Amino acid sequence: MSLDHEEKNEKRAITEKVDSHPSSPIQGGDILVQTQKPFTTLSAIGIGYGVTNTAVGLLLVLGTGIPMGGSPVVFWGFLAMAVVGLATATTLSELISAIPHPGGQYIWVYKVAPERYRRGLSYATAMISWIAAIAIGASGNLAVPVNAFTIVTLINPNFVYKRWMGFVVFQLINIVTCFGACFEYILPKISKALLLVNVLSVGAIIITLFATAKTHTSAKDFFKVTNISGWPNGVAFLIGLNGSNWCFSCLDVATHLAEEIPSPSTNIPKALIWTIVIAFSSGLLMILAVLVNIGPINTPDYSGLTVLHHITGSKAAAIGLWVPVLFLVFASVWSIQTWQSRLAWSLSRESGFPLHRYFSKVFPKPFYTPIWSLIGSAIALVFYCFPVYSEVIPSQMNYVSPVLLVVAIFITSLWFLYAKKHYHVIEM
């Protein structure tokens, strides 16, 4: 068999030609469609919950909830966000069952929006989705070094964290997780293994907290509002919801696997609902393990490692519980790399990016993944590595507002300079 013939067979195994829309700027071209379908419902749950990661996320955001009102804010806020998460997952399930597509939200917007505005609204939704995925990846990347160095501080209180340390670890995690997400055939295996590790690690943390706690929170104190934020109680409660909200975010991850799983109209909704079930169950047990056993704590620092140290009374035990937490955050970045690359790949097939011909390609064996989309998303991640503290206002500066403004300007400019002419949703 000739090499040319082998190459054609290999290409046919991972791509198929789809007729493009008559007005598409790439009419007659090859739209690369992922025909490898290695994912199952279980592995899709592994990818989806690997990003949502509710129980682990709750440990990371204790410091944003407890100062805003104590146990009631964390407990009731979690229950409120669980209801919101279930509503979101149910809505996504309905949409993906009707219109399964790896593009997810921007395809649904295109389908239901008025014809006059649907291209613009669809494009804005697509770019917001992709940039949001990158921003979430950056937060996960940064969470690992920042929280890892708290271990060093616990062992050596004289240690001073430098921003360059976080930057170096941030980029190493970015490179390693990007490489790990390049091989399609191992993604389902890794996602299932990580789901098992996640459940076992969370279970071990919960059992250890109950077994080693020296003090417990009384029923009276459990429901006592202790607001040390300076905000009125109502405002503080709403601010305190941010952490619980974050722990039920990114539920759409599984929807972007629509071309990599058999029967996506039924399997992806199952993955979405099971993600909520696992998130609620593990999250509720984790919250109870922390809040029931925390007792009085005489420190303004409510970070996860500090709370674990306070409950267990042992630096070794606290570090032993914190290390798997950091590993699971690292693993979530791997899932996020898969998520954001699928968004970039799908959007590139609609000519939504400059250089879309490269970003839309699925590489042949042994990858079977959109490598250029992975690399492009990983490079974009670099620019989201903002310093933890500002030189101007060291402890209070919040960059969210200027970042959102820059994102809005970027999307608007890209629409008028490029996408208004080139972007077109391909009807498949």
In the chain, where the domains are located? 14-422
| E strands present in 57-135 | 68-69
Cα 181–Cα 56–Cα 403 angle in degrees, nearest 5: 70
Is 362 in contact with 18 (CB distance < 8 Å)? no
| pLDDT digits 0-9 by tens, 59-110 | 988 888 888 888 888 899 999 999 989 998 998 999 999 988 888 888 888 8
Indicate the DSSP class of residue 256: G
Residue 394 has pLDDT above 60, yes or no: no
**pLDDT category of residue 269 using cuts at 50, 70 and 90:** very high
Mean pLDDT for the stretch of residues 22-35: 42
- Helical H runs in 294-414? 304-312, 315-349, 356-359, 371-382, 400-414
Using DSSP's 3-state secondary structure scheme, residue 69 falls into: strand
Instruction: Give the integer Cα–Cα distance in Å for 29 and 9.
Output: 19
Average model confidence (pLDDT) across the chain: 77
Q: How far apart are CA 241 and CA 231, in angstroms?
A: 14
Mean pLDDT of 412-421: 77
Distance CA 182, CA 338 (A): 8
386 neighbors 353 (Cβ within 8 angstroms): no
Q: What is the pLDDT of residues 318-367, one digit of tens each?
A: 999 999 999 999 988 888 887 777 777 777 776 665 655 555 555 555 55
CB 77 within 8 A of CB 237: yes
Instruction: Judge whether residue 167 has pLDDT over 70.
Output: yes
Q: Can you say how many angstroms the Cα of residue 141 is from the centroid of all Cα atoms in its chain?
A: 11
Q: Which fold has domain 14-422?
A: Amino acid/polyamine transporter I (1.20.1740)
Q: What is the pTM of this model?
A: 0.76
Triad 264, 31, 179: Cα angle to 5°: 70
Rounded distance between C-alpha atoms, residue 254 and residue 51, angstroms: 10
Highest mean pLDDT (candidates 90-99, 186-195, 257-266):
90-99
* Residue 231 DSSP one-character state: S
- Structure confidence at residue 36 as a pLDDT band (50, 70, 90): low
Residue-wise DSSP of 311-326:
HH--HHHHHHHHHHHH
The two structure tokens encoding residue 349: 């097939």
